Copies of this chain bind each other. A is one copy, B any other.
Amino acid sequence: MPLIQVDLDRSLYESSHDAIGRAIHDAQIEALGIPADDRFQVFRPREEGELKFDPAYNGVARDSLVLIQITAVHMYPVAVKRKLFETIAAKLGPLGIHAEDLLISLVENGFEDWFAGR
């Protein structure tokens, strides 16, 4: 039950939200091995000025910001989480989203911290 939250420019949302949602979900299936129907995503389109960032932090050239927050059960090794991030970046690239524009932040909780319909 990873939960995905995406804040992104409205123009990018309008043009590509279905493809972005599928790309992130496919990356989770591939990197984490979650079931294909374990999909919970919320997209929050943002207007000009609502996403504030520095174009150069971490030594990259950043044009815009696509913020992806992941809440997941504490169970994945560091290498698996890293693979997830890189797989997300790889699958978003063909949609015109540069890896440089991504900020991914993962927060962990326990199995007991979820209620998914029951």
**Closest Cβ neighbor of A25 among chain B residues:** B52
Chain B contacts of A49 at CB under 8 A?
17-18, 43
Interface footprint category on A: 35 or more
- Determine the main DSSP class of A at the interface with B: mixed
Chain B contacts of A53 at CB under 8 A?
39-41
Expressed in whole angstroms, the Cα–Cα distance for A45 and B65 within the complex equals 18
On A, residues with C-beta under 8 Å from B are 1, 3, 7, 17-18, 21, 25, 35-46, 49-54, 56-60, 62, 65, 67, 69, 71, 78, 81-82, 85-86, 88-89, 99-109, 112-118
With A3-B103, A59-B118 known, 9 other A-B pairs at CB within 8 A are A3-B67, A25-B52, A40-B52, A40-B53, A43-B49, A43-B50, A86-B115, A88-B115, A104-B115
